[in-house]
Amino acid sequence: MKILSVVGARPQFVKLAPMAEQIAAAGHEHVIVHTGQHYDAKMSDVFFDDLRIPAPDELLEVGSASHGVQTGRMLELLDPVLERHAPEVVLVYGDTNSTLAGALSAVKMHIRVAHLEAGLRSFNRAMPEEHNRVLVDHASDLLLAPTAVAMSHLANEGLSDRARLVGDVMTDVCIRVAASVQNNPIDLPVHVEHGGYVLATIHRAENTDDPQRLQAILAGLAALPIPVVLTAHPRLLAKAKALGLTVESGNIMVIEPLPYPAMVSAVANSAGVVTDSGGLQKEAYLLGVPCTTVRTETEWVETIAEGWNVLDPHAESLADLAIRPIAVAGPRLAYGDGHAAAAAVAEIGALH
């Protein structure tokens, strides 16, 4: 079977890694299309290198723009690519504008679509990602869901017959990389004590684009009693500058985005994680680190239910939450045992 993957943003490269490996292992042909939504080397190339992902077959180089323009550029460029490669299945990942463009292009050309990480819902319609998820799930022929909760969301929307529970492929990668860095921690570019810092990321539009919210989050982080290593997404720095806010103040130490193995190592050795990222909430859970999520809701509700993650929607309680002790014991198995990609590829193969 010929499978064409459309990726473009950092978390999609992480998901692509185990999928590319399993697609090759199953003997399918795999074409990789990179839309260029994320284009900085630290947001893109290092992931392909570190996670040993084959180089993309097609680079669309769409770059940054408003949602409509960015998605529109992708649509225009994807048509001839899909025509040229004529895949049997287009595989899209997660909830970004690249996911929406890939799915829309394929359905318009009557090519079957498989959506990896289907069924996640925040029920927050102010998030661009929520619209992308819902639209892509309804357009797709195969819905590869990471959790039972995601399956239940799909059932509520009448999509059960297309849905399959396969587990979470980011867990596959995290487990593998965590094992390799466990005894060889990767140094951070700033000096901090092992276990003596908070690791923070902030990039979601609802946080970076609202001056009051962004100011409250930065003030909360700056006032924490231990160093806060903030790996800065380009959106955060650009928006803070435009709003006249200083990112590096108090205990905040700003560093550039980390490659994936360094990020896993940094999380594993931290005292706590503060984030608005989806993937990082799960990584903190898998690595047994308390996470505080600066959002009004999360799609990864299992991390909350099991006591590893708490929401601090207005960043008011970071002082109490960021390095709280965790009294939870027991295995953390909500996202599978690290074999989700193999299950997902088997389901895609069964579409034949």
Active site residue 203: yes
Of 4, 5, 11, 111, which one interacts with ligand UD1 (CB under 6 A)?
11
C-beta of 275: minimal distance to ligand UD1 in Å? 11
What does the angle CA 130 – CA 132 – CA 136 come to, to the nearest 5 degrees? 120
Q: Give the residue with the Cβ less far from ligand UD1, 68 or 158.
A: 68
Q: Give the residue with the Cβ less far from ligand UD1, 96 or 292.
A: 96
User: How many residues line the site for ligand UD1 (CB under 6 A)?
Assistant: 19
Dihedral through CA 239, CA 241, CA 243, CA 248, nearest 10? 100
Check residue 64 for interaction with ligand UD1 (CB under 6 A).
Answer: yes
The number of residues making up the chain comes to 352
Check residue 130 for interaction with ligand UD1 (CB under 6 A).
Answer: no
C-beta of 255: minimal distance to ligand UD1 in Å? 16
Q: How many CB atoms lie within 10 A of CB 316?
A: 11
What does the angle CA 254 – CA 13 – CA 99 come to, to the nearest 5 degrees? 110
Check residue 97 for interaction with ligand UD1 (CB under 6 A).
Answer: yes
Check residue 10 for interaction with ligand UD1 (CB under 6 A).
Answer: yes
Dihedral through CA 305, CA 309, CA 313, CA 316, nearest 10? 130
DSSP 224: S
C-beta of 19: minimal distance to ligand UD1 in Å? 17
217 Cβ neighbours under 8 A, 6+ residues apart = 202, 207, 294, 315
Check residue 129 for interaction with ligand UD1 (CB under 6 A).
Answer: yes
- What is the per-residue DSSP string for 142-196? EEEESSHHHHHHHHHTT-GGGEEE---HHHHHHHHHHHHHSSSPPPPSS---TT-
Q: From residue 196 to residue 215, what is the string marking binding to ligand UD1 with x (rule CB under 6 A)?
A: -------x------------
Contacts (CB under 6 A) with ligand UD1, residues 306-345 = none
Of 95, 117, 299, 312, which one interacts with ligand UD1 (CB under 6 A)?
95
C-beta of 122: minimal distance to ligand UD1 in Å? 11
Check residue 39 for interaction with ligand UD1 (CB under 6 A).
Answer: yes
Given 28, 38, 203, 233, the catalytic residue: 203
Burial degree of 306 (CB within 10 A; 0-12, 13-18, 19+):
middle
What does the angle CA 181 – CA 32 – CA 67 come to, to the nearest 5 degrees? 95
Q: Active-site positions? A: 203
Contact positions vs ligand UD1 (CB under 6 A):
9-11, 37-40, 43, 64, 95-97, 128-129, 203, 233-235, 238
